[in-house]
Copies of this chain bind each other. A is one copy, B any other.
Amino acid sequence: MKKLLTILVDCPDQKGLIYKITSVLYQNELNIIKNREYVDLDTNRFFMRTEVEGLIDEAELAAELKEALPDQSWISVVSDRKKKLVLLVTKENHCLGDLLVRNHFGEWNADVKAVIGNYEVLRNFTERFDIPYHCVSAEGLSREEHEQKMIQTIDQYAPDCIVLAKYMRILTPDFVKHYEGKVINIHHSFLPAFIGAQPYKQAYDRGVKIIGATAHFVNHHLDEGPIICQNVIPVDHSQNASDMARAGKDVEKMVLAQALKLVLEDKVLLSGNKTVVF
């Protein structure tokens, strides 16, 4: 039976790459449905994302492509199996609400396996959707102890992707490393403006006329991981910091949902501290 596969390539740029890759696809009678390429001239790396249809084993195709491509190429052939998601929350509900509704109605080729919070606040809401909720309180625990318990709870679900849906705790480098490239965060500002705490207070104090939100992969530098999506909304002098925060919620949940959709569809590649979004 025909399969839909997504091929991701990140390799040193050189002449003839598309020819070499499509030559492998042609020999295997794969039909190209979508294809995007990009060359980062700063790093001289070539990026490609190709959706193909045909009869072939993922591992075999990956091996053939590896053969055809230069050394130090990274190749991934992804089948269309359902991905597993875990959502991390604290007390704010707007991103969680939006994601659970989308999940409930099967908007993605993915399933939310669990919601994990450091408070009980969002348990009732989560359980209305028949999704398990785990409360891992940080009370009385060191950051490391708490993260150990979080990791144990998360790992039982073997998630493909972890979404920080307004999870308001700072992560240690060890936690980040454990889930490298798998953690998406929504930051309630138009990064890199207003890094850190209380961005809406900062925005109000600065008298800005536009506020925004940024979805990004999490890395070891707080609020500085590769940006996936950003969006903004206009504000004016009549809105105080808490009005801005309220208005910001809608753009936050929209940007997070856009970023998650792109990630779940394997459309986001990493290029250093930037993303290539196909």
What residues make up the interface of A, taking CB atoms closer than 8 Å to B? 15-19, 22-23, 25-26, 29, 31-42, 93-94, 97-98, 101-102, 104-105, 125, 128-129, 190-194, 206-210, 212, 226-232, 236-238, 240, 250, 254, 257, 271, 273-277
Least CB separation from A122: chain B residue: B105
Least CB separation from A227: chain B residue: B207
Cβ-neighbour of A25 out of B19, B93, B227 (below 8 A)? B19
Least CB separation from A16: chain B residue: B26
Establish whether residues B29 and A39, one from each chain, have CB atoms under 8 Å apart when the complex forms: no
A11 to B72, CA, bound (A): 35
Cβ-neighbour of A254 out of B97, B250, B275 (below 8 A)? B250
Main secondary structure of the interface of A (DSSP, over half): mixed
A32 to B35, CA, bound (A): 14
Min CB gap A273→B, angstroms:
6
A190: chain B residues at CB < 8 Å are 190, 193, 210
8 A-B pairs with least C-beta separation: A207-B274, A97-B101, A19-B22, A193-B193, A19-B26, A209-B230, A128-B128, A16-B26
**A-B pairs with beta carbons under 8 Å apart, 21 shown:** A15-B26, A17-B32, A19-B25, A42-B240, A97-B104, A101-B101, A105-B125, A128-B128, A190-B193, A191-B206, A193-B193, A206-B273, A207-B227, A207-B273, A208-B227, A209-B229, A210-B230, A210-B231, A237-B271, A237-B277, A250-B257
Least CB separation from A124: chain B residue: B104
Establish whether residues B254 and A227, one from each chain, have CB atoms under 8 Å apart when the complex forms: no
Least CB separation from A40: chain B residue: B237
A19 to B257, CA, bound (A): 35
